[in-house]
Structure 1
Amino acid sequence: MVFNIRTIMTRHGAVRYSDTGGSGFPVVLIHGSSFSRRVFERQFDSGLAGRWRLIAVDLPGHGDSEDARDPRSTYTVTGFAACLDEIAEALDLKRLAVFGWSLGGHAAIEWMSRSTRIRGLMLCGAPPMPRGLIGMFRAFHPSRDLLLTSKQTFGERDAARFASLCFGSEPAPYQELVLRTDGLVRSVFAQSLARGEGADQRQAVETASIPIAIVAGTEDPFVRLGYLSGLHLPGHFSDEPIVIEGAGHAPFWERPDVFNPVLDRFLEAVAIDTTSAWQAHVRRVTARARG
């Protein structure tokens, strides 16, 4: 698939993005900590790119984007959300869907909580959690490996381990992206979540008036699947998490044969959303569930 690669100047620095263009409903793909838009290659190189407008960004401090001018402000859940909204404004995206993975998912929830332009949100590897450290422990498995997500300085061994955990593959892909990342991203963002900055993410998702889908891999080394199953998602795209067998933290990369059709169906549901159309759909789903 041929797509455009461009740069947007933001208050947080120059941001690089890929855009398939076209008239399809737009979906912004947001990568996880220490990676880049390249992780979505298996979506850009698929039928999704012909049906929808795929836009994948490199967050500040990652990939081909600049490191943040003010890391302590930008590399937070609220800072990344503000940057994403600035990008959407520059691209004149009045209505869009978002797929957020890991760190990108947490930034997407915060973005959704403060913006009316997001009409559908799919999350993966980003359990919506209550504010603060206790909320984090409820949503994630505490482990030595989890500490890597907040470690500022990585050597090659750390980069290899982190990439392997995220993609369930050895040798792991994208290790060079991990080493390129501004290490302050990991430490500052982890502190931001632990302090409870931004919206209460669980509450934001459970009370959202837009379609929401949560995708998880059965082998995710970080996320507690039991926590996800306890979320209250009435009337959303799926009333429970969509669990992909044999996948870990990145089902979109590990099992695109399963993930891509799910994303396709989700975008179909979002694209019909003119508010009244989606609310009518929710009423039908709710009526069927009660009947």
Structure 2
Amino acid sequence: MAIRETVSSDGTTIVYRAFGNPDARPLVLIHGWAQSSRCWGDDVVDALAQRYRVIAVDLRGHGYSDVPAAGYDDSANWAADVDAVLSAEQITAGAALLGWSYGGLVICDYLAAHGTGAVDAVVFVGAITSIGRGEAGGAVGAAMKAAIPAAMAEDPAVAVRALGSFGAALTGPLGDGAGRGAWSQALFGASLSTPPRVRSALFRRAASHDDLLRALAVPALVLHGTADTVVDVSAGEHAAALIPHATASYWEGCGHGPFVEDPERFVGEIDAFLSSVGERVPVGENTAGAITS
């Protein structure tokens, strides 16, 4: 594993971790709101790195990346951050972008600005693809609605209670002996370590990417838990219905963190999808296939 950094277009330093064979297909992991590149868990990253050149990014304001004073409401900045990482790694073709939660929105920001020249597949995991009032691709669930605005509070007592309520939503049941208790604490710690002003700023923007999804010329996997209370499953269904060549996998009873609830299945589905990606498909009629289990 190598820890690297690059500088985005506005001078923000973006830190990322690189794993696996540098000659393998690049798989760029983009985490969600108030998380970091460590959210995926070591076992998931290690398993993916057996097949792919895994690049796990700390978004601006998160993890070890810089925390600029402003600019979180500008889609161009998020697009530039992803582009800076790809450029630093000299990736010009064949990359797969995988975004969890808010990471799906960041992928769309990048594609809207830079197109698919460097990308041949995208994966949306419990993701939003748009944000703003009335955007179906940004539909949030009951846990997120209940946590806002307390999760953005400066008062630690208020923020801890709100962010703590996310635990089961991110990890699923904790009493099955699967080590989710430690994982839950790590995710909770990442949320608390993300500055309150950043947690708040990420929601103070509007971006509609429906037209982008309708014209997306690369294959996409939409993976979403049917019991997701952070990003409602309807957001995933909306994306899958728009993307011309999409595969939709809806995990029955799963919450917001499929890679936490069933890491082996998660890695298997990502691998199966990426292994199936060949020539680019033309934009046309939606050919989404849905898997529910």
Query: Percent identical across equivalent pairs?
Result: 26
The residue aligned with 2:177 is none
Write the mapping of 1:233-244 to structure 2, written as runs, cut at 5 A.
Answer: 233=242, 235-238=244-247, 241-244=248-251
Moved more, 120-129 or 48-57: 120-129
User: Could you tell me how far apart the structure 2 residues matched to 1:179 and 1:133 are?
Assistant: 26
C-alpha distance after superposition, 1:168-207 (max 9, x if no partner): 3555332221111122222212111xxx24xx32221122
Q: Which amino acid aligns with 1:183?
A: P
Contact 1:29–1:98 (CA<8 Å) still a contact in 2?
Answer: yes
User: Could you tell me how far apart the structure 2 residues matched to 1:118 and 1:64 are?
Assistant: 25
1:225 aligns with 2:233: yes
Q: Which amino acid aligns with 1:236?
A: H
**Judging changes above 3 Å, is the alpha-carbon distance between structure 1 residues 102 and 226 closer, same or farther for their aligned structure 2 residues?**
closer
**Judging changes above 3 Å, is the alpha-carbon distance between structure 1 residues 226 and 202 closer, same or farther for their aligned structure 2 residues?**
same
Query: How many Å apart are 1:83 and its aligned residue?
Result: 1.2
Contact 1:164–1:173 (CA<8 Å) still a contact in 2?
Answer: no
Contact 1:247–1:254 (CA<8 Å) still a contact in 2?
Answer: yes
User: Could you tell me how far apart the structure 2 residues matched to 1:244 and 1:12 are?
Assistant: 40
Moved more, 96-105 or 117-126: 117-126
Write the mapping of 1:161-176 to structure 2, written as runs, cut at 5 A.
Answer: 161-168=165-172, 171=181, 172-174=184-186, 175-176=188-189
The residue aligned with 1:90 is 88
4+ residue runs over 6 A deviation = none
Query: How many Å apart are 1:213 and its aligned residue?
Result: 1.3
Query: How many Å apart are 1:21 and its aligned residue?
Result: 4.1
**Judging changes above 3 Å, is the alpha-carbon distance between structure 1 residues 183 and 234 closer, same or farther for their aligned structure 2 residues?**
closer
**Judging changes above 3 Å, is the alpha-carbon distance between structure 1 residues 189 and 77 closer, same or farther for their aligned structure 2 residues?**
farther
User: Could you tell me how far apart the structure 2 residues matched to 1:18 and 1:242 are?
Assistant: 28
User: Could you tell me how far apart the structure 1 residues matched to 2:40 and 2:236 are?
Assistant: 24
Query: How many Å apart are 1:258 and its aligned residue?
Result: 1.5
C-alpha distance after superposition, 1:145-169 (max 9, x if no partner): 2525972535332332234433335
Query: How many Å apart are 1:139 and its aligned residue?
Result: 2.3
Q: Which amino acid aligns with 1:61?
A: G
User: Could you tell me how far apart the structure 1 residues matched to 2:134 and 2:151 are?
Assistant: 16
The residue aligned with 1:35 is 35
User: Could you tell me how far apart the structure 1 residues matched to 2:168 and 2:60 are?
Assistant: 23
Contact 2:126–2:233 (CA<8 Å) still a contact in 1?
Answer: no
Q: Which ranges of structure 1 fall in alignment gaps of 5 or more residues?
A: none
User: Could you tell me how far apart the structure 1 residues matched to 2:73 and 2:35 are?
Assistant: 14
The residue aligned with 1:179 is 192
C-alpha distance after superposition, 1:54-96 (max 9, x if no partner): 100111211122212xx32146443222211112112111121
Query: How many Å apart are 1:237 and its aligned residue?
Result: 4.1
- State the number of aligned residues: 267
User: Could you tell me how far apart the structure 1 residues matched to 2:266 and 2:149 are?
Assistant: 26
C-alpha distance after superposition, 1:268-291 (max 9, x if no partner): 233x3xxxx2338x99x96x9xxx
User: Could you tell me how far apart the structure 2 residues matched to 1:216 and 1:26 are?
Assistant: 23
Between structures 1 and 2, the one with greater helix share: 1
1:188 aligns with 2:201: yes
* Backbone CA RMSD of aligned residues: 2.8
**Judging changes above 3 Å, is the alpha-carbon distance between structure 1 residues 109 and 152 closer, same or farther for their aligned structure 2 residues?**
farther
1:59 aligns with 2:66: no
1:216 aligns with 2:220: no
C-alpha distance after superposition, 1:204-257 (max 9, x if no partner): 11220111111101210033324533542465241xx21123321111222112
Paired residue secondary structure (1:111): helix
Query: How many Å apart are 1:44 and its aligned residue?
Result: 1.3
Contact 1:98–1:120 (CA<8 Å) still a contact in 2?
Answer: yes
The residue aligned with 1:45 is 46
Q: Which ranges of structure 2 fall in alignment gaps of 5 or more residues?
A: 175-180
**Judging changes above 3 Å, is the alpha-carbon distance between structure 1 residues 62 and 262 closer, same or farther for their aligned structure 2 residues?**
same
* TM-score of the superposed pair, with normalisation by structure 2: 0.80
